[in-house]
Structure 1
Amino acid sequence: MQASLPGKADGQQSALGHCERASSHLWNSLNMSSGVSSAVLSSMMQLLACDLLLSLRTSLWQKQASSSQALGETYHASASELTGFQRDLGSLRKLAHGFRPAYRKVFLHEATVRLMAGASPTRTHQLLEHSLRRRTAQSSKQGEVDTLPGQRERATAILLACRHLPLSFLSSPGQQAVLLAEAARTLEKVGDKRSCNDCQQLIVKLSGGTALAAS
């Protein structure tokens, strides 16, 4: 078991290294002027890249956090992890100024970086609430990059809240299970099998009376 740990650490650092290089290219892209005819397409690609980077950084952090929780410990992201996340979050904010589909993702990732840093849960909960507000699925409009606008952010916010917020910020176990089941269906639709499985595991823990949230 111990022999496998260095390999996992090396894989984590390698993934973060790729994130840093991609992050630099993204920032350069955002600071380059482009023709009006290609502005929407460029923004869509930049949003896709930015959201992917932030989601990958979140996934890497959650793997570390889950390992620590299994040992009864609390894991907060390192300074370098937070710096990288903040840089990509800055890219997302910059993109959101002129591209509305990016705006709704800002609240979710702002909440995530607070969870990573172990910041006060009150403001984190408020940020997650922006994504938790139910949005009806509408047909995609010009410039939309999701087939279910806002629904993936809502599903991810549910998962983050149930996994990381203190119990005092959460609803009853029964209500949590209903929300997690909704989140699992959405995440399955968009092809995020890992997060869907995480929701299902939390539902199982809830049914067994196991506390889900970090204290």
Structure 2
Amino acid sequence: MIDYVRGRVVHLESDSIVIDVRDIGYQVITPNPYAFAKNEDAVTVYTHYHVREDAALLFGFQTREEQALFRKLLEVSGIGPRVAVGILGGGRPEAVVAAIHREDLSFLTRLPGIGKKTAQRMILDLKDKLAMSAASIETMWEAEAVGQTAGPDRYPVWSEAREALAALGYSAAELDRAWEGMGGACEPGESVDALMKRALQQLFKG
């Protein structure tokens, strides 16, 4: 089992990164490649090594929480590694866990690759396996219910997206205008990748 790799990110694709570890480039499939914007500093990527008949694939995550949730998702019938990565790309881990605890089919079926039957299996198989306090669930529910309409500093997801966009060369002024053009709010459960795409649409408008 390859638990993590540490090295420099030397290439980004739409669904993966290439990380240089002692002059060997590892392709790592990840929910949000843009979170690993290229720089000279070494980064740690928590991984899951998946072997099948025709390929050996390495999936990677920024946090242990993402890695753990990914592995739990693989226990659900009908969810393979690609779908699990899509789930983590479509919603923050804490939002996905909260939705499972709330039995929120509406939220779960908005995630990539998840239909009603799979969402029901997620709830049945994982609700008792995913630890989350009642207070955390209530806080997450309240944050989504109000639509998260406060300033940008309230949203860690926008901070990550902003940092990644800045690494791509966009100025602070451009990113401020993009945030304003997006209505100054994140959508409930919005991922860094989805938020970056919305911001780029604003930036391309000039």
Q: What TM bracket, shorter-length normalisation?
A: under 0.3
Greater share of strand: 2
Greater share of helix: 1
Which fold has the larger relative contact order, with Cα–Cα distance below 8 Å and residues 6 or more apart in sequence? Answer: 2
TM-score (norm 1): 0.26
